[in-house]
Structure 1
Amino acid sequence: MKLASLKHRRDGKLILVSRDLTQAVDASDIALTLQDALDEWDKLSPLLQARYEALNDNNIGERFPFNPADCESPLPRAFQWADGSAYVNHVELVRKARGADMPESFWTDPLMYQGVSDKFIGPRENIELCDEAWGCDFEAEVAVITDDVAMATPSEKAGSHIKLLMLVNDVSLRNLIPSELAKGFGFFQSKPASSFSPVAVTPDELGESWQENKVHLPLEVFLNGEQFGAPNAGVDMTFDFAELVAHAAKSRHLGAGTIIGSGTVSNLDRSKGSCCIAERRMLEILDLGSPKTPFLLYGDKVSIEMHDKEGRSIFGKIDQEVVPYR
């Protein structure tokens, strides 16, 4: 199934989107919002699936053209958004960039922070930035949405709680991070609102590309129309999504609609490029002695997308421009 949220009040209006992302149909009579659907997923998902199949079979009359610009992020706001760092190779590089050592435990115990979730940026909305000097960066990731997860759920069982997947642009303000972390209390000002793909999909939509709780496809990032990177999200992922969900649930229950991010996708094979500027800058420091790629400036455009093995877009495209906040 592919689901999206049309712009409507604060939490959107639920629609189903055809597999080829060209057509949509209203689903708000089944569940007004995606959060409503997740709250009663076992009861409502069969009804949504039946309408989704009718949409793809051209067996429904009320369909309309799908326009991602009319959509919020699938969950316009969420009760919880926790972002991991499953690609430890990326963590190591970025920590080097700010002169921080990496403890050995990072290879066995995931990093995770709790991000802004009361209002996400829409997939085609601008990234508003107060000051270019803050070092604005994109971070291309994959995320999952869960149903209710009980506290202390082990990773062997956590995978069954993954109901949907999305793409993420986890916006970071790199030049605010060092002084903020030096206080010893974690990210806050350096991690503003993130954005998600126009469409969220059930794992079965990925077919064989969803294995071992990982998405085995390249995540494509373009900066100002030029490809910045396309690392494979299933390669070099130290912690799979089931392990990330279990980590988040270690000491708390996770409510339906919890979003868990993978962290910036990164491959050891440097020919695949990068999914954030900070990683490229660190590689430039290692190769050239100093960084050459600037962080995002006003007018820069970022897009993030993933295609299946037949070249079809799965989640739609995150497509954004950095603009001054006024």
Structure 2
Amino acid sequence: MKLVRYGDKGFEKPGLLHTDGTLRDLSRVVRDIDGAALSDAGLSRLEWVDAAMLPIVPEGVRLGAPVANVGKLIAVGLNYADHAAESGMDVPPEPVLFMKATSAISGPDDPIELPRGSTKLDWEVELAFVIGTRAKYVPLESAMDHVAGYMICNDVSERSFQIEHAGQWVKGKSHDSFAPLGPWLVTKEEVPDPQNLSLWLDVNGSRRQNGSTATMVYGVAYLVHYISQFMTLEPGDIITTGTPPGVGMGMDPPQFLWEGDTVDLGVEGLGQQHQRVVLV
């Protein structure tokens, strides 16, 4: 299934993408695409829904982030060896974890805000996954049982806030609009191997990133296992897994986003995003 949330920001409704390409309304079936809907029981109920009988949503409607009421948005840094190299950093001996504020979550085609004082606004195409079953001290061999599905995340970053200011990375990762998600959540049965997906990103029509999840240092299963040793993962929590090389910070000379720039990105089987940079 491909699950979506559509409508004006803050008033999104649940939906799904039918096999005929139409968007169908799920409002009479579930309250929202949240942790309850993404649990094993919730997804089992949705699998029995006859999408052809659901109301068709008019074309051109805005898509929001596919998951509502996200409790935690956890990100993994330096999870591609070649991206670590372009950042001038070693491959970490354990996953590098940081948080992005959930207020940074936005729709897949919503504008990216250029924050006040920003000088180094950067892009990062990433595979994200969503937890469907509560995970605490999860063994590696059963880690994938806790995954509900996958989607695209653009881990937008302000590098001067992230690196040149004191403190943690979260400051450079959490401005409003710094976590575009979607366009849809693809449930795990449609993604048999999350470690074999191509991903790409263009800036103003020029290719900047072109990679594969096959080159991740720490894969999805290991991340569920590892993170669950330090915190409980609840249904609806999102983990975004790192980016391949080609970010603006790693270019020679570095290149960053400014007002009017456009960003297009995609992950194999998970759709595409499009954003324009705007001044706050």
Q: TM-score, normalised by structure 1?
A: 0.77
In the TM superposition, 1:1-326 aligns within 5 A as 1-7=1-7, 10=10, 12-19=12-19, 22-38=21-37, 41-51=39-49, 54-55=50-51, 59-60=52-53, 62-65=55-58, 67=60, 69-85=61-77, 86-94=79-87, 96=88, 102=90, 106=92, 108-131=93-116, 133-180=118-165, 183=166, 185-192=167-174, 193-206=178-191, 210-211=192-193, 214-234=194-214, 236-266=215-245, 274=246, 276-279=247-250, 281=251, 284=252, 291=253, 293-307=254-268, 314-325=269-280
Give the direction of change, closer, same or farther, for the CA distance of 1:8–1:296 in structure 2 (3 Å limit).
closer
Larger Rg belongs to: 1
Shift in Å, 1:227 = 2.2
Contact kept, 8 Å, 1:31 with 1:37, in 2: the verdict is: no
Partner Cα distance (1:315, 1:132) in 2: 34
Q: How large is the RMSD of aligned CA atoms in angstroms?
A: 2.2
Shift in Å, 1:120 = 1.0
Q: Secondary structure at the match of 1:64?
A: coil
Deviations 1:175-233 (A, max 9, x none): 222233xx3x4123211231112111012223xxx32xx34122121111222232122
Amino acid at match of 2:219: D
Deviations 1:75-122 (A, max 9, x none): 25510000113213312321x1xxxx53x6x1x311110111135121
Contact kept, 8 Å, 1:10 with 1:76, in 2: the verdict is: no
Give the direction of change, closer, same or farther, for the CA distance of 1:8–1:299 in structure 2 (3 Å limit).
closer
Amino acid at match of 1:25: R
Shift in Å, 1:50 = 2.5
Deviations 1:248-306 (A, max 9, x none): 2112211111101111134xxxxxxx2x2223x1xx3xxxxxx1x52001110001123
Specify every segment of 5 or more residues in structure 2 that has no aligned partner in the other structure, as ranges.
Answer: none
Contact kept, 8 Å, 2:125 with 2:153, in 1: the verdict is: yes
Give the direction of change, closer, same or farther, for the CA distance of 1:296–1:260 in structure 2 (3 Å limit).
same
Q: TM-score, normalised by structure 2?
A: 0.89
Partner Cα distance (2:242, 2:62) in 1: 27
Q: Which runs of 4+ in 1 moved over 3 A?
A: 8-11, 36-39, 64-67
Higher helix proportion: 1
Contact kept, 8 Å, 2:15 with 2:24, in 1: the verdict is: yes
Amino acid at match of 1:112: L
Contact kept, 8 Å, 1:17 with 1:66, in 2: the verdict is: no
Q: Secondary structure at the match of 1:159?
A: helix
Partner Cα distance (2:14, 2:118) in 1: 38
Contact kept, 8 Å, 1:149 with 1:158, in 2: the verdict is: no
Amino acid at match of 1:117: T
Amino acid at match of 1:2: K
Contact kept, 8 Å, 1:17 with 1:23, in 2: the verdict is: yes
Q: Percent identity?
A: 24
Q: Secondary structure at the match of 2:169?
A: coil
Partner Cα distance (1:133, 1:117) in 2: 20
Contact kept, 8 Å, 2:100 with 2:173, in 1: the verdict is: yes
Specify every segment of 5 or more residues in structure 1 that has no aligned partner in the other structure, as ranges.
Answer: 267-273, 285-290, 308-313
Amino acid at match of 1:139: E
Shift in Å, 1:132 = 6.7
